[in-house]
Amino acid sequence: QEQLVQSGAEVKKPGASVKVSCKASGYTFTDYYLHWVRQAPGQGLEYMGWINPSSGYTDYAQLFQGRVTMTRDTSISTAYLELSRLRSDDTAVYFCARDYFRVNTAMRTGLHSLFYFWGQGTMVTVSS
Amino acid sequence: EIVLTQSPGTLSLSPGERATLSCRASQSVSGRALAWYQQKPGQAPRLLIFSASSRATGIPDRFSGSESGTDFTLTISRLEPEDFAVYYCQQYSSSPRAFGQGTKVEIK
């Protein structure tokens, strides 16, 4: 059964960093891009970027460039999102999501970022 | 950059009624690369429709998607109690792969 399981809730102070994990199972981790999306309380979905677990290549949404780092550990099929210089408006649920398209298809066609299934979400609260 | 505008913001309907949700793109979405997701409170979104009109695995056939130029529509033919949720459209043809702002389908 394909699934993504995320780490637990975090409470951080402004200016700190947070690192959220997303463990994949039920499929070959390196075969699909892994994405991160966040949702502030009562708000819509905000796309953050993706990582190619096979190569480690990343592509970040402009809004987060300079503050976000996406990494992976293929030995344990886990992806990580690190967000630095936290502000109160970073308070949100952070989701990881697996792509629908295989990496080789994405690289050949340019089609990717269709979110096939999602992790359960990780609540990050930024408060002094 | 493609901007997606969803309407209405909220749709108040009764079980058994038909729901029609709109998603308008600011420019052409190449390859009909538009998806619809359903999100219930406290849950992650779930993929319903991709390629504008293809249902994802396990999605009931009361959900359908269509496209006319830059206008995309999600139709729920007869609302079941479990269909009351927020629905988002998202384009995956070009960067940034952004979402619409969502339509809430609530019980009237």
Rounded Cα–Cα distance for residues A16 and A90 (Å): 11
Of B45, B50, B95, Cβ closest to residue A118: B45
Query: Residue B96's pLDDT band (boundaries 50, 70, 90)?
Result: confident
Q: For chains A and B, what is the number of CB pairs under 8 angstroms?
A: 53
Structure tokens at B75: 């139709």
CB contact under 8 A, A116 and B33: no
Count of CA atoms in the C-beta half-sphere (13 A) of B50: 16
At residue A75, the pLDDT reads 98
- Residues B24-45 pLDDT 10s: 999 999 999 999 999 999 999 9
Q: How far is CA A105 from CA A44, A108, A113, B72, B106, in A?
A: 29, 5, 12, 25, 38
Nearest to A34 by CA among A84, A92, A77: A77
Count of CA atoms in the C-beta half-sphere (13 A) of B23: 32
Structure tokens at A74: 């293929």
A73 to chain B, closest Cα gap in Å? 24
- In order along its 128 residues, chain A shows pLDDT tens digits of 999 999 999 999 999 999 999 999 999 999 999 999 999 999 999 999 999 999 999 999 999 999 999 999 999 999 999 999 999 999 999 999 999 999 999 888 888 899 999 999 999 999 99
Nearest to B24 by CA among B101, B86, B95: B101
CA B37, distance to chain mean position in Å, is 6
Nearest Cα residue in chain B from A115? B47
A27 at B interface, C-beta within 8 A: no
Count of CA atoms in the C-beta half-sphere (13 A) of A107: 11
Rounded Cα–Cα distance for residues A63 and B39 (Å): 24
A119 to chain B, closest Cα gap in Å? 7
- Residues B62-80 pLDDT 10s: 999 999 999 999 999 999 9
